[in-house]
């Protein structure tokens, strides 16, 4: 199993009209693949926030393999 860091961001406009990515949630997930890690983290976000679709809280989902960085 690999360890993945899954990060969710929401893009919002500031008062000058520029986009900013705002961190919504991060989760460390143990999974066999990055796809499995993303799926698990999305389910965790939905359960924690009480929403049916993770895209109601975030625009992007990024997955980083922490096991690869340690090597």
Per-residue model confidence as pLDDT tens digits over 15-49: 899 999 999 999 999 999 999 999 999 999 999 99
Judged by DSSP in three states, 62 sits in strand
Q: What is the pLDDT of residue 50?
A: 96
Q: What is the pLDDT of residue 70?
A: 55
Helical ranges in the chain per DSSP H: 34-49, 66-70
**Quick check: 9 and 23 in contact, CB under 8 A?**
yes
For the domain spanning 2-70, the CATH number is 3.10.20
């Amino acid at each position: 199993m690999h360890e993945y860091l899954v990060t969710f961001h929401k893009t919002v406009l500031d008062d000058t009209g520029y986009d900013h990515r705002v961190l919504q949630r991060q989760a460390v997930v143990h999974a066999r693949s990055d796809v499995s890690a993303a799926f698990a983290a999305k389910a965790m976000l939905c359960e924690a926030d009480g929403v049916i679709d993770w895209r109601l809280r975030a625009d992007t989902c990024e997955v980083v393999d922490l096991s690869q960085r340690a090597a």
